Amino acid sequence: MKIILVTFCILMAFAIGVSAQDNPQLKPQSLQPDTLLMKKQLGEVEIISPRTSTSLKLTPFATSLVSKSVLGTMPRSVGAEEALRLVPGVRIENQANGSRLHLSIRGQGILSERGLRGIKVLIDGIPVNDPSGFAADLYDIDWLLADRIEVLRGATGTLYGGSSSAGVLNIITKSGGDKPVNGELSTSFGSNAFYKINGMVGGTNGNVNYRLSYSRTQGKGYRDHTRFWANNLNEKIQWTPSDKVKITQVLMLTDYFNQNPEGLSIDQLNDNPLQPNPDAIPFNEYQKTNRITNGIAGEIKTCKNQEIQFNAFVRITKYKETSNKSAQYRNMTAPGGSLQYNIHLGKNKIKNMISAGGDIQWQSIKEYKLKSMKDTTRVDDWSEDNMEDSLLLANQLITQRGAGVFLTDQLNIGKKLSITASIRYDNIHNELKDNKNITYNLSGKKDFGMLTGRAGIAYSIIPAVNIYGNWGMGFLPPATEELASNPASFGGFNDKLVPATSQSEELGIRGSVAGMLYYDVNGFFMTTKDDFFRYKLYPARGNQEVFYGNTGDTRRYGIEAFVSFNPIKQLSLQAAYTFTHFTYVSPDSLNGNFLPNCPQHQLFTDLEYRITKNFSAGVSVEYCSKWAIYTDKIHNDLFQDGYYMLHARVIYKWALWKLNGELSFYAKNILGAKYVAFTEPDPDGNCYQPGAGREFFGGVKIRF
């Protein structure tokens, strides 16, 4: 830590020396998320997540925008919790301080073990989800590249089917810049042997804009057996041959590894929160992902009032995960695409846009599982040969197809009123071929389909007062992970699962006042049927293998609020608050129980003061209330204590000759709060995941 502080002080002194006075070439450093949102006329702010460019003030959904001014203040630029910290309604659980996480919106998908369910994830228009709606992780996005993020919350199943019953996460990455050649070099480093290096080059040549980047991330984590590393290579080309054609091509190469410490029992937590689960090291538990994604997205205006939007992609993944019972290998290939046709009707004060289209995606998974064996001599062996000599438990081929068609109608009356309605039908096909068992073949099929609808209205009274409301349906089919976790055998499908469905209503208000205040407050009510739950078969299948079932119905309501206040040029205050009340209403054995891992109160506030034009300081407070740990009635009186943490940062911008950049220093959890970041509803009690203590990080960026 002394090395970090000394290095930072030297760099700061150098920067102050070469830029003793405020440099007029540098833009003011300020968080203001959203100078974008501070505009007096919200009609100038456009979002594209609803599949078409729509004015924010006339969007009938709870919508959050995260701009590059917020993304530029991430301490490490590694996890989604850094990027989405000021988005209400989102619950993010970072497992061991790397990029492996679990993310949910309004409690949808809260009980999956990892990844995202019911949330459509797009990176520059290319889907991350598989045909079942499951997004395994967010390893493909280097958060340093994120230029803007749109988050739609609520049942938006008619937009993207089962992938979006909870909402949409749309990530737009940086372009290459206006000059023929632009570049950036950056590094960040800090506690728990963390470091990240990044290099990016891009530019514009005629009607082509390009950007190429590479990053390397590494750390040992804050617990034993939590080491991780990542290599990311990203390429993006935007071709605009005319004002009628715009095409974007992206290539993402991901190589990610993380050791898995697993959860702790309450006794283990109290004894030593940094220790791994006793099985983690002997069985060398870890996950490793290699993935290539290549895609193209574009828009072609066929005539004055019509355009076609499309995307096509292919994703190839090689994945391995080890546990105390089996080592799982998966080779996955997932091609897909979408086509959408928009027609704009009407003129003057009444305008009508009709959109029709469809999505289709396939995936093949060649999977086999080997019985795990203890090998304490290979604690630090990360090679994939560690368990090759184990007993074959499963050898199977899973094929999937997801297809959906939709129709949307948006009617705008003047610049104040918008009415939207849409319908969609989805069909998801899953098929498994058992290549191992002869006498009791586990081959089978599972199909899910549903028609969903949505209607919304938005009315702009004045720029300071814009009201919106909607009703929508959600369709959450069992995803790949749930289906492939078969309690009856190490292979085959879990054929007892059925889709979870939902209906929700939402009412909200947003607006901007005098260019210094932006606010967005909404309330929602949601009911779900056949919700999922998790369970284990211990000791028969080990204490790390998770299975899923349909447990019953829930009732959920809550309030989400965001405010950004900029009373003077030098001062910015932001806050995101979430109140939720999620309980089971059936079966009788669960009636009245709270959903696990759903705190009623979450708050993140951020205050930033720009001391000089180039130098700013900020402080953040993070609060999370207590939450229920288990699903079952017997343990429903057990709650995990909440926590609050204090964070701080300083950022200094500098310029020297034709170079400019910034120096940063971050302190996380300054008071050293000891807390549990999240819990898993594990019947055997290994459910506690402790959070990181006090951490410090420094960073340097150089742009040319």
Residue 597 in tokens: 């891992």
Name the pTM for this structure.
Answer: 0.91
Structure tokens at 272: 């030593």
Q: Whole-angstrom Cα distance, residue 390 to residue 283?
A: 12
The mean pLDDT value for 7-26 works out to 34
Q: Give dist(CA 556, CA 505) in Å, integer.
A: 11
**pLDDT over 90 at 551, yes or no:** no
Distance of CA 565 to the CA centre of its chain: 26
- Give me the pLDDT at residue 375, please: 60
Structure tokens at 342: 């928009």
For 28, which DSSP code? P
Q: Any idea what the CATH number is for the domain that residue 454 is in?
A: 2.40.170.20
Gap between the Cα atoms of 689 and 679, Å rounded:
6
As a three-state string, the secondary structure of 341-407 is EEEEEEECCEEEEEEEEEEEEEEEEEEEEEECCCCHHHCCCCCCCCCCCCCEEEEEEEEEEEEEEEE
CA 448/CA 430 separation, integer angstroms:
9
pLDDT at 17: 36
Tally of domains in the chain: 1
CA-based nearest residue to 645, from 617, 606, 679, 673: 673
Bridge partner residues of 400 (DSSP) = 363, 430
pLDDT grade for 542, boundaries at 50, 70 and 90: low
pLDDT of residue 240 exceeding 70, the answer is yes
pLDDT tens string 478-533: 988 888 888 888 788 888 899 999 999 999 999 999 889 999 999 999 999 999 88
Q: Is the distance from CB of 259 to CB of 227 less than 8 angstroms?
A: yes
Mean pLDDT of 101-118: 86
Least confident among 10-14, 361-365, 658-662: 10-14
Query: What Å distances lie between residue 700 and 78, 231, 654, CA to CA?
Result: 15, 19, 11
Beta bridge partners of 184: 200, 703
Q: Is 560 left (phi over 0), alpha (psi -120 to 50) or beta?
A: beta
Task: Tell me the DSSP string of 139-174.
Answer: TT--GGGEEEEEEEES--HHHHGGGGSSEEEEEEE-
Per-residue burial over 304-321, b if 16 or more Cβ lie within 10 Å, else e, is: eeebebbbebebebbbbb
Q: What pLDDT shows up at residue 28?
A: 33
Report the share of the chain in percent with pLDDT over 70. Answer: 89
Q: Tell whether the torsion through CA atoms of 580, 581, 584 and 589 is positive or negative.
A: positive
pLDDT for 584 beyond 60:
yes
Q: How confident is the model at residue 130 (pLDDT cuts 50, 70, 90)?
A: very high
Distances in Å between the Cα of 575 and the Cα atoms of 47, 524, 603 are 21, 19, 7
Q: How does the average pLDDT of the chain come out, rounded?
A: 87
The residue type of 300 is I
- In the 8-state DSSP scheme, what is residue 600? S
* Cα distance from N-terminal residue to C-terminal residue, the chain: 30
Cβ atoms 578, 559 nearer than 8 A: yes
pLDDT of residue 486: 86
Strand extents, DSSP E, 45-163:
46-47, 54-55, 62-67, 90-94, 101-105, 115-117, 119-123, 126-127, 134-135, 146-153
Segment (H or E) for 266: helix 266-271
Residue written as token pair 């630090």 = 380
> Mean pLDDT, to the nearest integer, of 434-450?
86
Compute the average pLDDT of residues 539-560.
84
pLDDT for the residue 635:
62
Range scoring the smallest mean pLDDT among 49-58, 240-249, 455-464, 638-647: 49-58
Rounded-to-integer distance, Cα 576 and Cα 299, Å: 34
What is the widest separation between alpha-carbon atoms in the chain? 80
Residue-level pLDDT at 409: 95
User: Amino acid letter at 440?
Assistant: Y
Buried b (16+ CB within 10 A) or exposed e, 455-464: bbbbbbeebb
Q: Among residues 297, 293, 295, 401, which one has the least CA distance to residue 340?
A: 297
* Range of lowest pLDDT (24-28, 309-313, 660-664): 24-28
Tokens of 576: 């995101």
pLDDT of residue 416: 92
pLDDT digits (tens, 9 = 90+) for 131-176: 999 998 899 999 999 999 999 999 887 889 888 889 999 999 999 9
Q: For residue 302, how far is the Cα from the chain centroid?
A: 34
Q: What pLDDT is recorded for position 666?
A: 97
What is the C-alpha separation between 638 and 630, in angstroms, rounded? 7
pLDDT band at 207 (very low <50, low <70, confident <90, very high): very high
Q: For residues 427 and 449, is the Cβ–Cβ distance under 8 A?
A: yes
Distance between alpha carbon 34 and the CA centroid of its chain, in Å?
20
What residue has token string 């203001």?
Answer: 32
Residue listed under structure tokens 């080059």: 201
Nearest partner of 148 among 170, 126, 167, 164, judged by Cα: 170
CA triple 136-316-123, angle to 5 deg = 60
CB neighbourhood size of 672 (10 A): 10
CA dist., res. 599 & res. 91, Å (int): 9
Average pLDDT over residues 341-346: 94
Q: How confident is the model at residue 543 (pLDDT cuts 50, 70, 90)?
A: low
Q: Which of 158, 68, 80, 47 is nearest to 502 (CA)?
A: 158
Amino acid symbol at 512: S
638-691 residue pLDDT tens: 899 999 999 999 999 999 888 999 999 999 999 999 999 988 877 667 789 999
Give the length of the chain. Answer: 704
Segment 17-24 long-range contacts (CB within 8 Å, at least 24 positions apart):
18/654, 18/655, 18/656, 19/614, 19/654, 19/655, 19/656, 22/612, 22/613, 22/614, 23/613, 23/614, 23/653, 23/654, 23/655, 23/660
The secondary structure of 227-263 as a DSSP string is -EEEEEEEEEEEEEEETTEEEEEEEEEEEEEEE----
Whether the CA torsion 93, 97, 101, 103 is positive or negative: it is positive
Predicted confidence (pLDDT) at residue 9 exceeds the cutoff of 60: no
pLDDT single digits (tens) 600-653: 999 999 999 999 999 999 999 999 999 998 887 666 678 999 999 999 999 999
Contact 405, 358 (CB under 8 A): yes
- Res 37 pLDDT > 90: no
Q: Which domain holds residue 508?
A: 2-703
User: What is the rounded distance in angstroms from the CA atom of residue 330 to the CA atom of residue 366?
Assistant: 6
Q: Which of 75, 229, 192, 216 has the alpha carbon at shortest distance from 699?
A: 75
Element (H, E) at 331: strand 326-347
In this predicted structure, what is the pLDDT of residue 526? 96
